[in-house]
């Protein structure tokens, strides 16, 4: 309970526009209370595992506890992932409480720290990754594995000058990455021990390029990647995005031209620089304009001269006698560097270079793959099962996993929904399965680039050939910038694909799918959803959240959600791409003819599955953005392509396709967020945690034995309050049950937010109303949540009291930990408890949380949202980049209109014949033929709408007939009649293509 009481007018916590007026002390106390309450919750979970322990809990000065209560993992000791203590940090109550502590502590620090010092922290924080890089590259965590070492010894082993090394290590110790146990004597701790690759130092020094082989080195690889080329790239964000930067810093003129190996062509694309993945901050940093990051990793555009970002890094230290020389970590391309060994054959991360040249970036390339092996599990594979109502699809429906990598996510789906072929228990009846499959299950197509498809097929053939043999799953080589070959799929699925691309490219990918969609097709996008840093009233989409936490915490949980923003900036720095807010995703989808109707996030995760339905493509937007390759609708593609061709021919630039080619991996290098391994068959299998040696199921079960006993006893703790409702309503972690229906029933879908009725919640002095207990008066409530570490996906607390929990993966992933975000219920409760809030805010978050506490089975996904039907389709949709400020206007949505209406005839025609027909003069007959050829039926079209933009555009059958278009709706019948006349030869054809 805070000692400070506040007046009801002291602080407005609900109104986004209400300035934080007074009583900073009240806010600080509230944050302090949040930390204290969260700590209590964590202690209770730990206590529940071993039974009650004496209060107060053990402290450094008290005698060692006699009970078996595990302590929270110590910062000063190396991490032991297999310990119960460490595993309990994955308990959802604990994880949510940790999130609150991190959010509140970050905010406390920002509030009380002198602002200039906070600025210094951020402005000079670049030293942290720099020092971390040396720590990892010089294998210091491995050297400290056996215990503390004097810096003299470390200097001797690494070749780094002793005084310099001491200062670098001390900076890390100051930031809690190491311990300085005595002057100049350093030891690892819980954090830096994660960088230990597990390999002997001698072998690392002999073969530094093999450091990331094996499973234990994912964190080391991740740190190496982030602190090397990504860190350097980030330093150039201003140069890349601020047009005036070159005026201020004259040397910038050179950065994208003089040192670029292909500068003469590469810097003159028709794309604006901010949309060009080959002119990203990375390109500035490494002076290699025109070369995409992946192409560069695969060896293009880097020579000894170009690679070294600023050519001002100190040369590596001269090796002393008996010292190992530090390798030129990070893929230096100095000519003296030895040719790195080829990738290990058969490794899932190995790549096949298409060029016989030696790749000077081979080390970085392999490191990237290893780093992604860790981050691939940022989102639990099982979460996809709740991301869409897959069970609602008719048997035989086709799901296309576009840019599906090696099919890891498809494997999760196919294991559940491919009918009998997906069931491991029936595999011995394969022939029978194949028959059943044809009638019963869903079919899956995994599309990717050729080299990835080859890797995927190989992996599936080894792991589950029956799914390939039965036809339930197949791989297909397909470039998602080209027309989608599978028409009218039930679902097009894009998992962490769009975040790799700037808007213009992402829009094009979506348009290709929209072109192929039928009215029944659904689009499912799996991507991170960046939460706004303010309360977000964007309520158009079912499942959209207004905020992740009530005040006084930042609505997006600030520092506790930082990971998705780091990821976002990484996408900017490397590719000019981005993670997106829900508003941005909605606008991007709308610009390509998709209306987002629902977003689903697993509790505590910021990874969303976004469902969209086809709607008319905004042709007017396409027309307005004509001339910018890729940034318009596919309907305008003909124009863009034409223009681009002209530019290329005249030496003015190049087409989008070339940029795509240069930006893309040729070797199947995993990209950010891709899964590079197939999951265990069936979602109920344990999932390998990020960055840790994966414990076996037996280990986990053993670790969980005391917890399971406690659950079986189901005895209330003496500390249990009469009501537990004031404790956070964290979802139960979820070992996924083995059968489909129960699996589906526990995975959580975000509820539709209620109408915005949230009252202004005010600080009050003293006791709280609304029946909530004042903290000082209530007995200490404690969580009775049994511990079950989360398995793939998160689950709602639908487990019945007697049900035996099955431990799953002991640790959440990096991303999931950082986004245990929806702490709203407990925060609000805590605020109420602390006397900070008068009312529990009626926010969607709180409603969701109350449903989580109810132990009711998940009722299944809500039915589709009915859509409003405007009388007229707006002529222009805002471009995605602008749309974060303004949500797009409503789209037409009677089922029929929503599905079938195409906007202007010009648009529809362009759409059909987009690549063949030039702008403005269009042949009806030809376009209808093209239309049919692409599988689009003319009776799909209800009406054509002419927007004001289209007035004056001539559309006709060629030279002979040009019909001025007038605004308004043209009935489909008359258009088709006109077309029929054309087809009958009533008009002479004169299209330039004839
Ligand atoms: C981040 S990964 C996502 C992979 C997979 N969806 C997953 O969730 O693991 C992006 C994928 O897009 C693929 N990709 C990149 N460019 C492509 C293109 N032009 N056509 C098809 N796939 C492409 C990459 O090969 C990669 O597998």
pLDDT tens, residue by residue, 126-149: 999 999 999 999 999 999 999 999
Two tokens at 222? 């991740």
Mean pLDDT of the chain: 64
Atom in ligand 1 nearest the alpha carbon of residue 673:
1
Please say whether the beta carbons of 585 and 525 come within 8 A.
yes
State residue 599 phi and psi, 5-degree precision: -130, 140
What is the CA(675)–ligand 1 centre distance, in A? 10
User: What is residue 710's three-state secondary structure?
Assistant: helix
For the CA of 451, the nearest atom of ligand 1 = 25
- Test site for ligand 1: of 376, 403, 665, most ligand atoms within 8 A of the Cβ: 403
- Long-range pairs for 253-260 at CB < 8 Å and ≥24 separation? 255/284, 255/287, 256/283, 256/284, 256/287, 256/289, 257/289, 258/287, 259/287, 259/288, 259/305, 259/306, 260/287, 260/288, 260/289, 260/290, 260/291, 260/301, 260/306
- Ligand 1 centre to CA of 446 (Å) is 10
Per the DSSP assignment, residues forming a β-bridge with 969 are 945
- Tell me which residue of 193, 213, 92 sits closest to 140, measured CA to CA: 193
- Closest-CA residue, ligand 1 atom 2, reads 674
Predicted local confidence at residue 680, as pLDDT: 66
SS3 963: strand
Of 2, 4, 13, nearest to 762 (Cα)?
Answer: 13
Which residue's CA is the nearest one to ligand 1's atom 19?
A: 479
Question: Can you say how many angstroms the Cα of residue 662 is from the centroid of all Cα atoms in its chain?
Answer: 24
pLDDT of residue 894: 44
Which protein residue has the closest C-alpha to ligand 1 atom 7? 674
3-state secondary structure 467-497: HHHCCCEEEEECCCCCCCCCCCCCEEEEECC
791 class by beta-carbon count within 10 Å (0-12 exposed, 13-18 middle, 19+ buried): buried
Beta bridge partners of 302: none
Q: Which two tokens stand for residue 924?
A: 């009806």
Name the residue with the closest Cα to ligand 1, atom 13.
Answer: 403
Q: Tell me the CA–centroid distance for residue 739 and ligand 1, in Å.
A: 30
Which residue, among 512, 657, 707, 528, has the nearest Cα to 602 in the 3D structure?
528
**Residue bearing the CA closest to ligand 1, atom 6:** 404
CA of 500 to the centre of ligand 1 (A): 9
Which residue out of 372, 449, 570 has the highest number of ligand 1 atoms within 8 Å of its CB and is therefore the one to mutate? 449
Minimum CA distance residue for ligand 1 atom 14: 403
Local structure of 706: helix, strand or coil: helix
CB 151, CB 166: distance < 8 Å: yes
In Å, how far are 57, 424, 430, 713 from 779, measured between CA atoms?
17, 50, 60, 23
49 vs 404: CA distance, rounded Å: 41
User: What is the pTM assigned to this prediction?
Assistant: 0.64
**For residue 499, which atom of ligand 1 is closest to its CA?**
1
Q: Which of 294, 497, 607 to mutate to test the pocket of ligand 1 (most atoms within 8 A of CB)?
A: 497
In angstroms, rounded to a whole number, what is the distance separating the alpha carbons of residues 329 and 314?
13
Return the number of other C-beta atoms located less than 10 Å from residue 78's C-beta. Answer: 19
CA distance 455 to 277: 25
Give which of 411, 290, 283, 297 is closest to 351, Cα–Cα: 297
Q: How far is the CA of 633 from the centre of ligand 1 (A)?
A: 22
Q: What is the pLDDT of residue 320?
A: 37
Q: Which two tokens stand for residue 816?
A: 């999931």
pLDDT of the residue at 22: 60
Output the CA 404–ligand 1 centroid distance in Å: 6
- Please tell me the residue having the least CA distance from ligand 1 atom 20: 479
The DSSP H or E segment spanning 178 is strand 178-182
Q: Do 714 and 723 touch, CB atoms closer than 8 A?
A: no
- CA pair distance 721, 702, nearest whole angstrom: 30
- The secondary structure of the chain in percent helix, strand, coil, rounded to multiples of 5, reads 40, 10, 50
Alpha carbon of 497 to ligand 1 centroid (Å): 6
Task: Choose the residue to mutate in 292, 298, 405 for probing ligand 1, maximizing ligand atoms within 8 Å of C-beta.
Answer: 405
Kindly give the distance from the C-alpha atom of residue 448 to the centroid of ligand 1, in angstroms, as a whole number. 6
Residue 774 phi, psi dihedral angles, 5° rounding: -65, 135
Q: How far apart are CA 803 and CA 783, in angstroms?
A: 17
State residue 792's pLDDT score: 34
- ipTM over the 0.95 cut-off: yes
The closest residue, in CA terms, to atom 10 on ligand 1 is 497
Whole-number Å distance, alpha carbon 506 to ligand 1 midpoint, is 12
Q: Which residues of the chain have pLDDT under 70?
A: 1-22, 51-67, 250-270, 302-357, 374-378, 380-381, 420-440, 619-657, 665-670, 673, 675-676, 680-994
Rg from Cα positions in the chain: 29
Q: Which residues are registered as beta bridge partners of 491?
A: 399, 522
Q: Which residues line ligand 1 (CB under 6 A)?
A: 403-405, 408-409, 448-449, 452, 479-481, 495-497, 500, 664-665, 671-675
Mark 225-255 as b/e (b = at least 16 C-beta within 10 Å).
Answer: bbbbbbbbbbebbebbeeeebeeeeeebeeb
- What confidence score (pLDDT) does residue 539 get? 76
Kindly report the protein residue whose alpha carbon is nearest to atom 11 of ligand 1: 403
383, 407, 674: which to mutate for ligand 1, most atoms within 8 A of CB? 674
Secondary structure class of 535 (helix, strand, coil)? coil
Distance from residue 336's CA to the centre of ligand 1 (Å): 35
Q: Give phi and psi for 466, each to the nearest 5.
A: -60, -30
| Residue 401 alpha carbon, nearest atom of ligand 1 | 6
Q: List helix spans (H) across 376-407.
A: 383-386
Q: What is the distance in A from the centroid of ligand 1 to the CA of 405?
A: 5
Q: Specify the residue with its C-alpha closest to ligand 1, atom 27.
A: 405
Alpha-carbon span 318 to 976, nearest angstrom: 79
């Amino acid at each position: 309970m805070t000692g400070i009481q506040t007046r009801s007018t002291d602080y407005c916590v609900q109104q986004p526009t209400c300035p934080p007026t007074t009583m900073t002390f009240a806010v600080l106390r509230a944050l302090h209370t949040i930390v204290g309450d969260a700590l209590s919750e964590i202690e209770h979970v730990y206590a529940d595992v071993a039974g009650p322990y004496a209060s107060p809990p053990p402290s450094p000065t008290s005698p060692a506890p006699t009970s078996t209560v595990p302590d929270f993992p110590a910062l000063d000791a190396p991490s032991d992932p297999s310990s119960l203590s460490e595993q309990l940090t994955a308990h959802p109550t604990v994880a949510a409480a940790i999130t609150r502590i991190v959010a509140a502590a970050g905010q406390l620090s920002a509030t009380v720290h002198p602002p200039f010092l906070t600025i210094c922290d951020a402005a000079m924080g670049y030293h942290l990754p720099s020092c971390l890089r040396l720590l990892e590259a010089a294998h210091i965590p491995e050297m400290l594995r056996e215990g503390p070492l004097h810096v003299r010894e470390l200097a001797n082993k690494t070749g780094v000058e002793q005084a310099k090394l001491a200062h670098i290590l001390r900076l890390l110790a100051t930031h809690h990455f190491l311990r300085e146990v005595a002057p100049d004597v350093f030891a690892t701790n819980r954090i830096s021990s994660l960088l230990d690759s597990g390999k002997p130092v001698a072998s690392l020094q002999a073969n530094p390029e093999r450091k990331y082989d094996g499973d234990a080195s994912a964190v080391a690889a991740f740190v190496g990647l982030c602190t090397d080329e990504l860190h350097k790239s980030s330093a150039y964000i201003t140069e890349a995005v601020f047009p005036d930067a070159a005026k201020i810093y004259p040397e910038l003129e050179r950065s994208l031209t003089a040192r670029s190996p292909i500068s003469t062509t590469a810097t003159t694309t028709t794309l604006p620089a901010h949309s060009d993945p080959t002119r990203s901050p990375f390109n500035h940093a490494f002076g290699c304009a025109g070369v995409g990051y992946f192409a560069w990793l695969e060896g293009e555009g880097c020579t000894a001269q170009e690679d070294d970002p600023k050519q001002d890094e100190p040369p590596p230290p001269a090796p002393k006698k008996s010292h190992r020389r530090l390798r030129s970590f990070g893929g230096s391309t100095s000519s003296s560097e030895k040719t790195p060994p080829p990738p290990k054959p058969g490794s899932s991360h190995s790549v096949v270079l298409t060029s016989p040249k030696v790749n000077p970036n081979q080390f970085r390339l392999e490191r990237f793959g290893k780093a992604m092996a860790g981050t691939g599990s940022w989102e639990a594979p099982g979460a996809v099962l709740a991301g869409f109502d897959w069970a609602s699809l008719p048997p035989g429906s086709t799901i296309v996993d576009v840019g599906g990598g090696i099919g890891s996510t498809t494997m999760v789906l196919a294991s559940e929904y491919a009918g009998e072929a997906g069931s491991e228990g029936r595999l011995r009846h394969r022939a029978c399965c194949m028959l059943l499959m044809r009638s019963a299950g869903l079919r899956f197509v995994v599309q990717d680039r050729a080299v990835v498809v080859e890797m995927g097929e190989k992996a599936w053939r080894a792991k589950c050939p029956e799914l390939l043999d039965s036809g339930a799953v197949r791989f297909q080589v397909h470039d998602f910038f080209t027309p989608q070959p599978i028409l009218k799929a039930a679902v097009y699925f894009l998992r962490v694909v769009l975040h790799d691309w700037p808007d213009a490219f992402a829009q094009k990918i979506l348009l290709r799918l929209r072109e192929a969609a039928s009215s029944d097709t659904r689009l499912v996008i799996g991507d991170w959803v960046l939460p706004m840093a303010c309360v977000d009233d964007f309520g158009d989409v079912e499942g959209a959240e207004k905020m992740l936490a009530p005040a006084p915490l930042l609505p997006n949980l600030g520092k506790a959600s930082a990971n998705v923003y780091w990821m976002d900036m990484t996408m900017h720095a490397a590719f000019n791409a981005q993670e997106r807010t829900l508003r941005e995703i909605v606008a991007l989808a709308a610009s390509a003819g998709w209306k987002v109707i629902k977003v689903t996030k697993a509790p505590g995760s910021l990874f969303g599955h976004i469902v969209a339905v086809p709607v008319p493509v905004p042709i007017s937007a396409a027309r307005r953005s004509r001339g910018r390759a890729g940034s318009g609708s596919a309907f305008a593609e003909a124009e863009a392509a034409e223009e681009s061709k002209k530019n290329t021919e005249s030496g003015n630039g190049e087409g989008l396709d070339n940029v795509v080619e240069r930006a893309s991996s040729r070797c199947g290098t995993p990209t950010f967020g891709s899964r590079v391994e197939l999951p265990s068959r069936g979602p109920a299998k344990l999932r390998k945690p990020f960055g840790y040696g994966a414990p076996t199921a037996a280990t986990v079960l053993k670790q969980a034995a005391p917890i399971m006993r406690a659950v079986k006893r189901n005895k209330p703790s003496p500390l249990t309050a009469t009501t537990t409702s004031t404790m956070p309503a964290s979802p139960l972690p979820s070992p996924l049950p083995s059968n489909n229906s129960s699996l589906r029933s526990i995975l959580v879908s975000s509820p539709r937010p209620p109408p915005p009725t949230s009252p202004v919640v005010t600080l009050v002095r003293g006791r709280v109303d609304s029946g909530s207990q004042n903290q000082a008066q209530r007995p200490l409530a404690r969580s009775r949540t049994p511990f079950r570490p989360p398995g793939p996906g998160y689950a709602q607390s639908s487990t019945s009291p007697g049900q035996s929990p099955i431990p799953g993966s002991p640790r959440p992933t990096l991303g999931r930990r950082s986004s245990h975000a929806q702490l709203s219920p407990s925060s609000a409760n805590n605020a109420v408890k602390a006397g900070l809030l008068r009312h529990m805010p009626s926010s969607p978050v709180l409603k969701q949380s109350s449903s989580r506490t109810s132990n009711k089975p998940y009722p299944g996904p809500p039915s589709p949202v009915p859509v409003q039907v405007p009388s007229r389709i707006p002529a222009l949709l805002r471009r995605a980049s602008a749309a974060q400020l303004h949500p797009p206007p409503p789209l037409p949505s009677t089922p029929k209109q929503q599905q079938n209406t195409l906007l202007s005839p010009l648009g529809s025609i362009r759409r059909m014949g987009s690549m063949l027909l030039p702008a403005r003069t269009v042949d009806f007959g030809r376009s209808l033929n093209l239309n049919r050829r692409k599988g689009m039926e003319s009776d799909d079209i209800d009406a054509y709408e002419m927007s004001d933009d289209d007035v004056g555009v001539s559309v006709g059958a060629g030279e002979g007939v040009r019909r001025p278009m007038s605004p308004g709706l043209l009935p489909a019948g008359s258009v088709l009649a006109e077309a029929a006349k054309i087809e009958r030869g009533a008009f002479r054809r004169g299209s330039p293509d004839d």
